[in-house]
Structure 1
Amino acid sequence: MIARLNAEVLDQLVDFLAQLKPNDFSDFSPVLKTSSIGQHVRHILELYDCLVSQYESGLVCYDHRKRDKRLETDVNLALVKIKEIQSNIRLPDKELLLKMAAGSDFETIRTSYNRELCYNLEHCIHHQALINIACNQLDYISLPASFGVARSTIDYANSQSKFETSN
């Protein structure tokens, strides 16, 4: 189920990128000021790529991602990468070690594949929220209300609207 939720959020990203003009993807956003939409997309994709590509080794380190500048400037390459991730994301849960920078050292903690999928899902949604803000000035973009919104927030809002209509 968690892999399906990740694939669905990545589908939202595909739908968004299909609408986006190449310059609006790669140029610094006047709203975000210090980054481009493409940089946020690259960051999302590289974390997913780390998880999937390092799965077999059992040791995941997001700090050692590629930082491939082409993913932030070439929207078509980003779309290919999303499809690749979606094709490879459905892996069995297993215990993993997460290696992370801790100052000048590294720390390793136990985690699992499904836990890291949860992390990547929330991370993707967080960056989609930032992308959504950047799109406020792009009047040709049409995003679903759920773009950049956590599933729990959507469920809560739905439960509140049902409650309000029943009173």
Structure 2
Amino acid sequence: MVIDPVEQFRTVIKGNVEGLEQGITLLSTMTNEQYCMRAVPHMNSCIGEHLRHILDLYYALKESAAIQVIDYDVRRRGALVESCRLTGLLELGQIKAWLLTLQPRMMHDKFIMSTEVSVINTTVAHVETSLIRELIFVSAHAIHHYALMDISAKLCAFDTPKNMGIAPATLTALRNDSSCVQ
């Protein structure tokens, strides 16, 4: 199998943009009150807090270009985006615009990714990685949080866009298996 690296990069960017557009669609169809609802006792975080976390990872990747270090532990807990749906929409749009500026020649740019890896001690791992690999990671991470947002929304009795929080490989399996119920 011959893989065109430029096409591969464009596909990864397209997948990230599609994911961000799911978030934009969700936020466009809800109220600020719904954005801030907590589905307690089942979930402690509101949709806005999940979105802030998604955006924090994208911002860590975006800001890493100058210093070549991605620090996923930099978080903006308590930021306005957690409680203001319009700020969430604005930031999703900003990340989408940034993604669309990325060039295929950048896909293999090397970075050091830094993140805590222990739930018991403060232990940080530093791993060499590339832009394309991290774009795949932040997109998959966003889908995971979209799934949590989808559950939270349903527990708070409002609808989400079709296929919200479902992984691309799962959607392919559903499309290819007529016995799977959608």
Question: TM-score scaled by structure 1?
Answer: 0.88
Per the alignment, residue 83 of structure 1 pairs with 93
1:136 aligns with 2:146: no
Residue identity opposite 1:155 in structure 2: T
For residues 142 and 148 of structure 1, the distance between their equivalents in structure 2, rounded to whole angstroms, comes to 10
For residues 31 and 121 of structure 1, the distance between their equivalents in structure 2, rounded to whole angstroms, comes to 28
**Percent identical across equivalent pairs?**
25
Per the alignment, residue 50 of structure 1 pairs with 60
Deviation track 1:14-68 (CA, whole Å, cap 9, x = no partner) reads 0100111111112322364311111111111111111111123211001023335
Contact 2:52 2:76 survives alignment (8 Å): no
Residue identity opposite 1:42 in structure 2: R
1:31/1:38 Cα in 2 relative to 1: closer, same or farther (>3 Å)?
A: farther
Q: Following superposition of structure 1 onto structure 2, how do residues 83-122 of structure 1 map, counting pairs within 5 Å?
A: 83-90=93-100, 91=102, 92-93=106-107, 94-102=109-117, 103-122=121-140
Tell me which moved more, 130-139 or 76-85: 130-139
Residue identity opposite 1:95 in structure 2: K
Cα offset for 1:127? 0.5
Residue identity opposite 1:147 in structure 2: M
What RMSD, in angstroms, separates the aligned Cα atoms of the two structures? Answer: 1.7
Contact 1:99 1:106 survives alignment (8 Å): yes
For residues 154 and 140 of structure 1, the distance between their equivalents in structure 2, rounded to whole angstroms, comes to 22
State the secondary structure of the residue aligned to 2:67: coil
Per the alignment, residue 157 of structure 1 pairs with 174
Question: TM-score scaled by structure 2?
Answer: 0.81
State the secondary structure of the residue aligned to 1:71: helix
Contact 1:31 1:134 survives alignment (8 Å): no
Structure 2, gaps ≥5 residues long: 1-10
Contact 2:38 2:45 survives alignment (8 Å): yes
1:2/1:99 Cα in 2 relative to 1: closer, same or farther (>3 Å)?
A: same
Residue identity opposite 1:120 in structure 2: V
Contact 1:38 1:71 survives alignment (8 Å): yes
Structure 1, gaps ≥5 residues long: none
Contact 2:19 2:143 survives alignment (8 Å): yes
Which structure's residues are more often helix, by fraction?
Answer: 1
State the secondary structure of the residue aligned to 1:63: coil
Contact 1:2 1:118 survives alignment (8 Å): yes
For residues 140 and 157 of structure 1, the distance between their equivalents in structure 2, rounded to whole angstroms, comes to 24
Residue identity opposite 2:74 in structure 1: H
Per the alignment, residue 69 of structure 2 pairs with 59
For residues 120 and 60 of structure 1, the distance between their equivalents in structure 2, rounded to whole angstroms, comes to 12
For residues 13 and 78 of structure 2, the distance between their equivalents in structure 1, rounded to whole angstroms, comes to 24
